[in-house]
């Protein structure tokens, strides 16, 4: 009973709709849970499964005990209102005696839902936010909704069967009555006459099944409306998954719900046929509900890529949730075509102009008995060509959105008329060159993050609050990198300073509006790339080379140079931190404290390491090789923190160390004539510390390379077969181009 004690307190804070959904008044009202709380919790309900028909006897025994206990409690209750209500409840629950297993499953689900509500942490309601997504409904449907509808249908069927029995009995008694009319004073005559009158009254009473039918259709309508709402919520969550939002892709519960409602619709249409006088309004209403259900059951299970390059293969899967109910015979052929934004807004009409040519754009709906799913798999689809719309202003081709439209004609078992059904994919951007991929992805990110649920395709806002933009960036970053380590408030502030070009702004950016142009149309001040191109480069670098470093909090990440100087000042020499470069795409640099020429301190930044650098030598090894950085901010010894990232025993073990002789020959006329020599012989030296300068693999294999030297000591390195590391000190007039041979 402990569960009900806590639940009764929680119920006081729940909305009435939630309570009525948890305890359906017509199936398992809250009074049953209250009066039989201890007994219910002492029984085993979790083992009930709809498919195990052998559990029917066990479920029937529990149902009979509940009915008997309710009647017993009612008789002992002094309150006449409670007594009458409990007796009515016990009579209503007798309907389950035809399907006791369904009753057991229902109680099981109620107790599970109670536990879920009790385990759910209390949440403080969030203030209304700009363009928030709709309140997320559970991915799994509340099967009690379906149970109520099924109970209504059972009630209608039971009423019809009882009426049929009464009518047969009345006809028989009337026949007997006519045979006794000779003796009008016979006791049997009067008794039979009284019985006939009672039967006629009962027949009139049970003739109210028309009212029950109307209630059942209304109940089906409400349940189906909730189902359609959940299908929309599933599609919405699928849309949001592109920016890293959680998404449960399991469609099986929704498919079960669709199939059950289709069965209920069919049974109600049969009941209407058995009524002597037709009810056109109910027949029409059921027909419309059937059409809506059949049309909404077609969904894109696996979306196509949202950035598609012409002449490239891609795949997608469309699923029909009523697949097992499709009439046998002719295969159902699903056709795909690409449509533009204008055509997506007018799906009620068949698209006229062909805006693109799709190859392999047909697939057959096939049933998989193992997964119990019916799908059309488009495995090798390709866009051969695309027709662009007239662009407005500075709009680029990577901002134009299309979609794939899937359509077919289908016939459902038990329905005479075929139905035309269709569904569309999420928006896609079509590109013709890989260089457009980054900008096309920006269009998709903006669409997924800031579009409204029931928008006109494919309208998006031009500006959004920074708080929503930052939430999107954080969600996309963590999902793409596959990490639980979020961007912190320091990262958030620097990103805002960068996108708004306000490096000195220290206040809150949350309510400032950021535009699409600032996100990915205008280049950042002093740079040749946009904010998104820069952010995506960092994300890609972290995903491929820095995931573990980031997840363990070893990378400070996004930080401006002003903030950098603020936190590193007064730190011991050798203190360093890892930050993403803000001057180039996809780079990470080391900022460290060192001694200045006048005996003070200065903050220096090492040339950023890019994807190519980290492919040659890992970040951990590079940190180890730099002897003058010793403590990771604030004061972690670097060898303790980064030890597990080191490879081998050190640079000398990692590199191929040989004694080399290098000949340097001038190949340029930029040097001062007095300093020029045709050839210089340098003494032998050993491989030395790794430096910022990289020599490509082809140079090592061929033995030659041209490069520029700067007026300072230069160091090169050979890692494996790809890098040479030597100490070199040359004087002369700079810059000079040298040819090295080893």
| Tens-digit pLDDT profile for residues 654-666 | 333 333 333 333 3
Half-sphere exposure of 224 (CA within 13 A, CB side): 26
Classify domain 464-645 at the CATH topology level: SHC Adaptor Protein (3.30.505)
pLDDT at 727: 39
Predicted pLDDT of residue 174? 66
Q: Looking at domain 143-269, does it have CATH number 3.40.190.10?
A: no
Q: Quote the pLDDT of residue 68.
A: 84
- Helix, strand, or coil (residue 137): coil
pLDDT given for residue 414 in this prediction: 83
State which H helix or E strand residue 223 sits in. helix 209-240
**Three-state SS for 475?**
helix
Backbone angles phi, psi at 544, to 5 degrees: -90, -30
Domain ranges of the chain: 3-119, 143-269, 303-435, 464-645
d(C-alpha 112, C-alpha 105), whole Å = 11
- Structure-block tokens of residue 1: 């009973």
Q: Is 741 helix (H, G, I), strand (E, B) or coil?
A: strand
Closest CA relative to residue 320, chosen from 231, 402, 238: 231
pLDDT of residue 665: 39
Q: What is the pLDDT of residue 690?
A: 33
Consecutive H or E run containing 688: none
- Give SS3 for 339: strand
Report how far residue 729's alpha carbon sits from residue 740's, in angstroms, rounded to the nearest whole number.
14
Q: Quick check: 470 and 448 in contact, CB under 8 A?
A: no
Task: Report the distance separating Cα 509 and Cα 500, nearest Å.
Answer: 9
Query: Could you tell me if 577 and 603 are in contact, meaning their C-beta atoms sit under 8 angstroms apart?
Result: no
- Residue labelled with tokens 């075509």: 337
- CA pair distance 339, 427, nearest whole angstrom: 10
Scored b (16 or more CB within 10 A) or e, 343-367 reads: bbeebeeebeeebbebeebebebee
Task: Give the residue among 495, 532, 496 at the shortest CA–CA distance from 517.
Answer: 532
Q: What is the pLDDT of residue 145?
A: 67
Q: Among 709, 716, 715, which residue's Cα sits nearest to residue 731?
A: 709
> Cα–Cα distance between 241 and 476 in angstroms, integer?
9
Residue 362, pLDDT score: 97
The whole-angstrom separation of Cα 625 and Cα 627 is: 6
Could you give the CA distance from residue 286 to residue 323 in angstroms, rounded to a whole number? 20
pLDDT recorded at residue 503? 86
Instruction: Using alpha carbons, list the distances in angstroms from residue 533 to 355, 439, 496, 502, 530.
Output: 29, 8, 15, 19, 5
The pLDDT score that the predictor gives to residue 80 is 67
Q: What angle do CA 146, 148, 151 make, to 5 degrees?
A: 110
Query: CA angle 204-207-212, nearest 5°?
Result: 145
* Contact call for residues 130 and 469 (beta carbons, < 8 A): no
Quick one: 303-435 is in which CATH superfamily? STAT transcription factor, DNA-binding domain (2.60.40.630)
Cβ–Cβ < 8 Å for 6, 116: no
CB 621 within 8 A of CB 645: yes
Q: Which CATH superfamily is domain 3-119 in?
A: STAT transcription factor, N-terminal domain (1.10.532.10)
Concatenating the DSSP letter of every residue in 575-610 gives: EEEEEE-SSSTTEEEEEEEEE-TTSSEEEEEPPPEE
The reported pLDDT for the residue numbered 168 is: 72
C-beta atoms surrounding 597 within 10 Å: 6
- Of the candidates 715, 700, 712, 691, the residue with the CA atom closest to the CA atom of residue 613: 691
**Contacts (Cβ under 8 Å, ≥6 apart) of 373:** 251, 252, 255, 319, 323, 367
Crossing angle between the packed helical segments 2-11 and 100-119, to the nearest 10 degrees: 70
Q: Tokens 């009647």 sit at which residue?
A: 71
The answer to whether 75 touches 83, Cβ cutoff 8 Å, is yes
Token representation of residue 675: 């300093």
- CB-based burial, 137-149: b 16+ in 10 Å, e otherwise: bebebbbbbbbbb
* Distance, CA of 546 to CA of 125 (rounded, Å): 37
Neighbours of 54 (CB within 10 A): 7
CA dist., res. 632 & res. 579, Å (int): 12
Which residues of the chain have a pLDDT value below 50? 122-141, 143, 651-742
Residue with tokens 């009074």: 31
Distance CA 403, CA 420 (A): 19
Q: What is the pLDDT of residue 558?
A: 94
Listed in sequence order, the residues at least 6 apart from 20 whose beta carbon sits closer than 8 Å to its beta carbon are none
The predicted pLDDT at position 575 comes to: 95
Q: How far is CA 641 from CA 550, 568, 593, 628, in A?
A: 13, 19, 18, 16
Query: In terms of DSSP H, where are the helices of 602-727?
Result: 611-616, 619-625, 638-642, 651-654, 697-702
pLDDT value of residue 180: 61
Find tokens 């009473």 and name the residue: 205
- Euclidean distance between CA atoms 556 and 578, whole angstroms: 6
Which pLDDT value is given to residue 85?
Answer: 81
Backbone angles phi, psi at 315, to 5 degrees: -130, 160
Strands 631-632 and 575-580, by their bridges, are parallel
């Amino acid at each position: 009973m402990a569960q009900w004690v806590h639940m009764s307190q929680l119920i006081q804070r729940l909305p009435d709709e939630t309570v009525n959904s948890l305890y359906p008044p017509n199936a398992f009202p809250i009074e049953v849970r209250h009066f039989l709380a201890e007994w219910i919790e002492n029984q085993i309900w979790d083992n009930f499964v709809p498919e195990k028909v052998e559990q029917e006897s066990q479920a029937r025994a529990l149902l009979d005990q509940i009915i008997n206990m309710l009647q017993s409690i009612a008789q002992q209750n002094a309150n006449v209102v409670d007594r009458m209500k409990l007796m009515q409840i016990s009579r209503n629950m007798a309907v389950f005696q035809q399907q006791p297993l369904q009753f057991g499953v229902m109680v099981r689900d109620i107790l599970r839902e109670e536990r879920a509500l009790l385990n759910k942490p209390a949440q403080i309601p969030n203030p209304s936010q700009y363009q928030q997504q709709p309140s997320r409904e559970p991915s799994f449907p509340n099967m009690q909704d379906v149970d109520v509808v099924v109970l209504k249908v059972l009630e209608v069927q039971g009423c019809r069967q009882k009426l049929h029995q009464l009518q047969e009995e009345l006809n028989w008694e009337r026949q007997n009555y006519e045979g006794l009319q000779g003796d009008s004073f016979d006791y049997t005559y009067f008794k039979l006459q009284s019985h006939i009158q009672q039967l006629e009254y009962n027949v009139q009473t049970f003739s109210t099944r028309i009212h029950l039918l109307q209630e059942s259709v209304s109940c089906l309508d409400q349940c189906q409306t909730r189902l359609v709402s959940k299908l929309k919520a599933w599609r919405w969550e699928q849309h949001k998954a592109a920016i890293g939002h959680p998404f449960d892709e399991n469609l099986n519960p929704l498919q079960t719900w669709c199939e059950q409602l289709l069965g209920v619709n069919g049974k109600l249409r049969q009941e209407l046929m058995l009524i002597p006088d037709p009810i056109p309004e109910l027949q029409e209403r059921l027909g419309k509900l059937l059409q809506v259900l059949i049309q909404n059951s077609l969904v894109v299970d696996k979306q196509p890529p949202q950035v598609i390059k012409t002449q490239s293969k891609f795949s997608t899967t469309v699923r029909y949730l009523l697949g097992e109910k499709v009439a046998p015979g002719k295969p159902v052929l699903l056709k795909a075509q690409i449509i533009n934004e204008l055509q997506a807004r007018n799906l009620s009409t068949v698209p006229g102009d062909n805006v693109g040519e799709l190859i392999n754009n047909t697939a057959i709906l096939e049933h998989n008995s193992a997964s119990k799913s019916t799908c059309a798999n488009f495995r090798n689809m390709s866009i051969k060509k695309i027709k662009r719309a007239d662009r407005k202003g500075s709009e680029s081709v990577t901002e134009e959105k299309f979609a794939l439209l899937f359509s077919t004609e289908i016939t459902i078992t038990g329905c005479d008329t075929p139905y035309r059904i269709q569904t569309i994919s999420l928006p896609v951007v079509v590109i013709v060159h890989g260089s457009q991929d980054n900008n096309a992805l920006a269009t998709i990110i903006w669409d997924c993050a800031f579009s409204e649920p029931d928008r006109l395709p494919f309208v998006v806002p031009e500006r959004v609050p920074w708080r929503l933009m930052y939430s999107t960036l954080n969600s996309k970053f963590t999902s793409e990198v596959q990490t639980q380590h979020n961007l912190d408030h320091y990262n958030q502030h620097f990103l805002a300073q960068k996108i708004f070009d306000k490096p000195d702004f220290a206040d809150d950016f949350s309510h400032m509006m950021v535009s699409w142009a600032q996100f990915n149309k205008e280049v950042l001040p002093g740079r040749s790339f946009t904010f998104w191109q820069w952010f995506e480069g960092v994300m890609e670098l972290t995903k491929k080379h820095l995931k573990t470093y980031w997840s363990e909090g070893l990378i400070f990440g996004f930080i401006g140079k002003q903030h950098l100087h603020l936190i590193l000042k007064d730190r011991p020499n050798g203190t360093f931190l890892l930050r993403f470069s803000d001057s180039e795409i996809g780079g990470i640099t080391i900022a460290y404290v060192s001694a200045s020429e006048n005996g003070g301190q200065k903050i220096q930044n090492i040339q950023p390491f890019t994807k190519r650098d980290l492919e040659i030598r890992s970040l951990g090894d590079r940190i180890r090789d730099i002897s003058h950085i010793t403590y990771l901010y604030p004061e972690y010894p670097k060898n303790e923190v980064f030890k597990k990232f080191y490879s081998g025993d050190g640079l000398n073990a990692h590199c191929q160390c040989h004694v080399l002789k290098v000949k340097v020959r001038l190949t340029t006329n930029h040097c001062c004539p007095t300093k020029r020599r045709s050839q210089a012989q340098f003494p032998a030296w050993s491989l030395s510390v790794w430096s910022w300068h990289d020599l490509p693999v082809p140079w090592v294999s061929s033995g030659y390379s041209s490069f520029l030297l700067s007026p300072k000591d230069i160091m090169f390195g050979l890692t494996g077969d790809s890098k040479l590391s030597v100490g070199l000190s040359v004087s002369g007039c700079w810059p000079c181009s040298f040819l090295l041979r080893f």
